[in-house]
């Protein structure tokens, strides 16, 4: 009762504190949601690909932050390996699209439309490419830069017609765009190069056996099964994003702790006479600590509720303004943030409680 | 408590001194004070402001440590109490009344009285009942839900007295209990304290500069520059 009434006696301060703490919580929730969205979204193209094996240049582990070059001749040798059903070369390039004087970067994916491998995992609008002068753009890229099916795209000086819009192709910092392999090769001027080969094994063939045989016959290449390759790419995203996002989230947690500690400390200092009286009339230390902890819990609970109420509408708004930002929130993430807030509020209480020791009995007699 | 019975002094000071500061900045607030306070009596420590009355009260209650001499609180030297034990003694056996009442602003009258019962280890329903009883006993039951800022000075002091005896204190320490009150209200409060001593056997030690309180005291000590001067009746 005392804890709540003391907080309520300064409504503006309470409101500012709850607001500040809530913003820190929103920041932490948002960063985790961005992380989850980016970590999942950036590998959706790979996850939804139907390739059994991914074959890359030696020492290449992923396509997101690594380079790999393989030749058409190597593709032909792979196709000849026992158990291999089909081999589809795919060429990934960083390219630029011009619109109204602005240049946007895309992750251009050249694939063979007839192979059924390497193309857009989902078409949300229009159709897949059939010809070299056609392109499929990612949904969030198209939304953000106002491209629609039927529009013309200026890609490094070449004109392509947008025939489709794809889903699961937003890699957070960059978005996929799909063209024919021939067009992509022509763009770089090397007609037999690819980044990797997507291999399907024959029905009934032993995947591990095929993998081993490719490795044996083409020792200069890396051969990954689908789960391993997916994991490699997830790991690559995590190692790139995670430290940065976690650092910012940790800063949010520190700011939260500082705000809460400041409020609790100011409350103690303002009410030091009350604390001196309570000490004098026989309050056990635990009772005084309990009052400070209750205040911290009340503020962090109110802030958590406010943050949760504001978080989802805010995320929707951000995704509308910046479609390339894809977020994903899970119950586990929210629970872990709320748990972290609980720990931070206890930590803040601990910092503030130290002030109680410097309140003396005699202050009640002044 | 520790073999203490209500025939023994609730508080006993022997050669008590308290010096603040060091070297040439030393100030003796209490000098060589010896006296005993028994249950059932109201002792008046009479002296001007700065004479050392409040310091002596805090020494008696074990709120500060003497520089020399000793204080026996309920028969036990306060130096031999652990701080936790001393806190329990204050919660269970000592009541405090302050000059400016010092009620907690964010608590109602009932809660102000109840809080001391909480430190006393009573259950919620029991302490609420006892707090109401006390407010009734002092004729201020109607103030139960009121906050201190809406009460008169006299009402606040009555709530403060109710709080002081809420834990069934054997020793009541009152620092200028009438200092912030009008004459009539002041007399009402000192009469109340006297009744607590006479009817309930409490040991009441009052520090005041108000000479008009003489008539209510069983024993009077004058205190000047920290020294307790010969007792007068």
Judge residue A316's burial from the number of C-beta atoms within 10 Å of its C-beta, 0-12 exposed, 13-18 middle, 19 or more buried.
exposed
Contact A278 B104 (CB under 8 A): yes
C-alpha distances (whole Å) from A64 to each of A43, A214, B66 are 9, 23, 75
Of the candidates B206, B230, B226, which has an alpha carbon nearest to the alpha carbon of residue B218?
B206
Of the candidates A224, A347, A233, which has an alpha carbon nearest to the alpha carbon of residue A296?
A347
**B128 shares contact with chain A (CB less than 8 Å):** no
Give the residue ranges of DSSP H helices in chain B: 53-60, 83-93, 109-119, 124-137, 153-166, 183-200
Predicted TM-score (pTM) above 0.90: no
CB within 8 Å of chain A, chain B residues 59-88:
61, 63-64, 84, 87-88
Residue with tokens 């070299």: A132
Residues 6 or more apart whose CB falls under 8 angstroms from that of A262 comprise: none
pLDDT at B131: 94
Q: Which residues are bridge partners to B221 per DSSP?
A: B45
Contact A9 B116 (CB under 8 A): no
ipTM above 0.85, yes or no: yes
Contact B104 A1 (CB under 8 A): no
- Tens digit of each residue's pLDDT (9 = 90 or more) over B201-231: 999 999 999 988 999 999 999 999 999 986 5
DSSP symbols for A140-204: HHHHHTT--TT-EEEETTEEEEEEEEEES-B-SSSBEEEEEHHHHHHHHT-TTEESEEEEEEPTT
Determine the residue of chain A that is closest to B113 in CA distance. Answer: A281
Domains and CATH numbers, chain B: 11-231 (3.40.50.300)
C-alpha distances (whole Å) from B97 to each of A84, A165, B159, B162, B164 are 94, 80, 10, 9, 6
**B127 shares contact with chain A (CB less than 8 Å):** no
Judge residue A182's burial from the number of C-beta atoms within 10 Å of its C-beta, 0-12 exposed, 13-18 middle, 19 or more buried.
middle
**B111 shares contact with chain A (CB less than 8 Å):** yes
Residue from A8, A281, A290 whose CB has the most chain B CBs within 10 Å, to mutate: A281
CB within 8 Å of chain A, chain B residues 173-192:
175
User: Do B114 and B134 touch, CB atoms closer than 8 A?
Assistant: no
Mean pLDDT of successive 10-residue stretches along chain A, which has 366 residues: 82 92 94 86 90 95 86 95 96 90 91 93 96 95 92 93 95 90 94 95 94 94 95 84 82 92 91 92 92 94 96 92 86 94 94 91 84
- Tens digit of each residue's pLDDT (9 = 90 or more) over B5-63: 777 899 999 999 999 988 778 888 999 999 999 999 999 999 998 899 999 999 999 99
Contact A364 B92 (CB under 8 A): no
Rounded (10°) angle between helices B109-119 and B153-166: 20
Pairing of strands B203-208, B171-175: parallel
Q: How far apart are the first and last CA of chain B?
A: 31
Name the residue among A6, A273, A281 with its Cβ closest to that of B96.
A281
**B19 shares contact with chain A (CB less than 8 Å):** no
User: Do A91 and A110 touch, CB atoms closer than 8 A?
Assistant: yes
Determine the residue of chain B that is closest to A7 in CA distance. Answer: B106
**A258 shares contact with chain B (CB less than 8 Å):** no
pLDDT at B2: 55
């Amino acid at each position: 009762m005392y804890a709540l009434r003391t907080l309520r006696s300064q409504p503006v301060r309470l409101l500012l504190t709850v607001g500040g703490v809530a913003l820190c919580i929103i920041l932490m929730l948002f960063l985790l949601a961005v992380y989850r969205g980016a970590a999942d979204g950036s590998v959706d193209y790979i996850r939804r690909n139907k390739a059994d094996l991914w074959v890359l240049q030696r020492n290449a582990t992923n396509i997101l932050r690594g380079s790999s070059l393989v030749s058409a001749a190597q593709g032909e040798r792979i196709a000849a390996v026992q158990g291999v059903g089909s081999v589809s070369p795919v060429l990934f390039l960083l390219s630029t699209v011009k619109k109204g004087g602005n240049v946007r970067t895309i992750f251009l994916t050249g694939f063979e439309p007839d192979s059924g491998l390497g193309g857009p995992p989902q078409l949300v609008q229009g159709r897949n490419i059939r010809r070299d002068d056609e392109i499929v753009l990612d949904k969030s890229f198209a939304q953000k830069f106002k491209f629609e099916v039927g529009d013309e795209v200026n890609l490094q000086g070449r004109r392509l017609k947008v025939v489709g819009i794809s889903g699961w192709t937003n890699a957070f910092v960059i978005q996929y765009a799909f063209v024919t392999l021939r067009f992509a090769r022509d763009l770089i001027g090397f007609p037999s190069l690819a980044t990797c080969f997507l291999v399907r094994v024959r029905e009934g063939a032993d995947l591990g056996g095929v993998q081993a045989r490719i490795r044996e016959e083409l020792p200069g290449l890396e051969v990954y099964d689908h789960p391993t390759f997916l994991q490699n790419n997830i790991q690559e995203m995590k190692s790139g994003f995670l430290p940065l996002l976690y650092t910012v989230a940790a800063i949010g947690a520190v700011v939260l702790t500082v705000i809460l500690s400041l409020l609790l400390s100011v409350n103690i200092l303002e009410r030091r006479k009350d604390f001196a009286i309570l000490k004098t009339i026989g309050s056990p230390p635990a009772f005084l600590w309990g009052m400070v902890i209750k205040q911290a819990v009340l503020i962090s609970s109110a802030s958590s509720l406010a943050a949760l109420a504001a978080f989802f509408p805010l995320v929707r708004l951000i995704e509308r303004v910046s479609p390339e930002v894809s977020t994903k929130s899970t119950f586990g993430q929210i629970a872990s943030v709320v748990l972290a807030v609980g720990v931070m509020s206890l930590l803040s209480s601990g910092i503030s409680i130290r002030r109680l020791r410097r309140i003396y009995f005699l202050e009640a007699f002044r | 408590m520790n073999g203490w019975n209500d025939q023994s002094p609730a508080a006993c000071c022997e050669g008590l001194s308290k010096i603040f500061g060091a070297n040439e900045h030393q100030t003796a607030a209490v000098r060589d004070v010896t006296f005993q306070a028994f249950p059932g009596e109201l002792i008046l420590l009479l002296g001007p402001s700065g004479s050392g009355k409040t310091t002596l009260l805090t020494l008696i209650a074990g709120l500060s440590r003497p520089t020399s001499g000793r204080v026996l609180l309920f028969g036990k030297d306060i130096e031999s109490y652990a701080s936790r034990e001393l806190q329990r003694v204050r919660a269970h056996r000592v009541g405090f009344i302050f000059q400016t009442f010092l009620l907690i602003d964010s608590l109602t009258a009932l809660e102000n009285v109840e809080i001391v019962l909480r430190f006393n280890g009573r259950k919620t329903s029991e302490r609420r009942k006892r707090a109401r009883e006390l407010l009734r006993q002092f004729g201020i039951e109607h103030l139960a839900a009121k906050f201190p800022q809406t009460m008169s000075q006299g009402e606040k002091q009555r709530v403060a007295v109710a709080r002081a005896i809420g834990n069934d204190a054997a020793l009541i320490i009152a620092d200028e209990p009438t200092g912030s009150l009008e004459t009539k209200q002041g007399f009402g409060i000192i009469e109340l304290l006297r009744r607590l001593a006479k009817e309930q056997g409490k040991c009441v030690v009052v520090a005041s500069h108000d000479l008009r309180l003489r008539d209510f005291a069983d024993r009077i000590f004058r205190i000047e520059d920290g020294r307790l001067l010969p007792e007068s009746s």
